[in-house]
Amino acid sequence: MSTINFANREINFKIVYYGPGLSGKTTNLKWIYSRIPEGRKGEMVSLATEDERTLFFDFLPLDLGEVKGFKTRFHLYTVPGQVFYNASRKLILRGVDGIVFVADSAPNRLRANAESMRNMRENLAEYGLKVEDIPVVLQVNKRDLPDALPVEMIQAVVDPEGRFPVFEAVATEGKGVFETLKEVSRQVLARVGST
Amino acid sequence: MVEPTLVLYGALYQRAMDILQDTLQETGARYALLIDRKGFVLAHKEALWAPKPPPLDSLATLVAGNAAATQALAKLLGEARFQEVVHQGEHMGLYVDEAGEAALLVLVFDENAPLGKIKLHGKRAAETLARLAEEALANPPKLNLDTQYREEAKALLDELFGN
Ligand SMILES: Nc1nc2c(ncn2[C@@H]2O[C@H](COP(=O)(O)OP(=O)(O)OP(=O)(O)O)[C@@H](O)[C@H]2O)c(=O)[nH]1
Ligand SMILES: [Mg+2]
């Protein structure tokens, strides 16, 4: 649930980038950070290992502007994708309003995509949440790989029912990055006041 | 929804601000914040004499992450919770205490603030704020944001994230 601060007339949303290790979650946030003008973003915080793998989370606050007198902000987070960081991954999901699931197009990561989605369902369940309760957008990243799997194949393992909107991306070049963010934001905003 | 949304407004917000203000005066701390467990700032006060604070968003996020990790550690060891946390550097220190289930009190202090006072008044403030947070959770305000809010927000999305 979004956090509303009536006194400061603020509405804050939490969006989490989930997905297997090395799928490009941090790369998405870096791209967003590099393109959003000063004054509309805060500091990006990255808790990473020396080799740039996310250890706890990345964090980037964005300022959408004022809507009907409410300052509206998005807090973007990434989780650590590596399997053994599950304890921290779970913590980041707390209070999530929307999720971007970043899948990897590499053939040898197909299974990792599926396992990460299953892990996400399990972790959400610990907060009493179902995937169906939250806006989720599927980003199929690394479309530039020469041996990239067909999107349908990836979709078939992470979202066989075709429930989530899908965006193809090359996060290193920024392709599909803002399209994905915009869709999840749109869905999150659409739920304001309707609960 | 499992995660309760802690909303402070009106009289409760004012009381929270008063408590933070009193705590600053009693302890000599620089900044006092009440944040929720997700890392959002609910209320904050700065001492008049204090320099510009670091980015509060980052501060709140890191404190909440840290607190969540600490709580998970306590559980692993079979404890319901760990006591308040104090981090102290050469010049600056940080005091973090649970203000009930849903919020955290954060005090940022420098070498001129006696640690004993920080801990004593920090603990008291955290207890008062915990009751206040409980009251706020029990009486969630109705949010009257209509379709117009959504329309306007969408227009801003186009502006910031592109078409
Ligand atoms: N070819 C290609 N490489 C990419 C793309 N996006 C990210 N990468 C690379 O993949 C590697 C991992 O990217 P990260 O963004 O750090 O991955 P992550 O999902 O944050 O990984 P964890 O933090 O371990 O969960 C980096 O070397 C990126 O440059 C892409 O679209 N195409
Ligand atoms: Mg990462």
pLDDT tens profile A122-151? 999 999 999 999 999 999 999 999 999 999
Amino acid code (one letter) for B96:
V
Which among B37, B61, B104 is the top mutation candidate for probing chain A, defined by the most A β-carbons within 10 Å of its own β-carbon? B61
Contact A67 B149 (CB under 8 A): yes
Please report the domains of chain A, with CATH numbers, ordered by start residue. 3-194 (3.40.50.300)
Is the Cβ atom of A145 under 6 angstroms away from ligand 1? yes
CATH topology of domain B10-161: Beta-Lactamase (3.30.450)
Q: Which residues of B touch A14 (CB under 8 A)?
A: 38
pLDDT score of B3 more than 70: no
Contact A1 B154 (CB under 8 A): no
> Ligand 1 centroid to A115 CA: how many Å?
18
* Domain boundary assignment for chain B: 10-161
Instruction: For residues B126 and B32, give the distance between their C-alpha atoms in angstroms, rounded to a whole number.
Output: 11
Q: Which two structure tokens, joined as six digits, stand for A103?
A: 């899948």
Q: Are B40 and B60 in contact (CB under 8 A)?
A: yes
Pick from B90, B72, B81, B73: nearest CA to B126? B81
| Model confidence, pTM | 0.91
Supply the pLDDT for residue A4. 73
Per residue in B69-111, pLDDT (tens digit) is 998 899 999 999 888 889 999 999 999 999 998 999 999 999 9
Contact A4 B143 (CB under 8 A): yes
Question: In whole angstroms, how large is the CA radius of gyration of chain A?
Answer: 16
SS3 (DSSP) at A173: helix
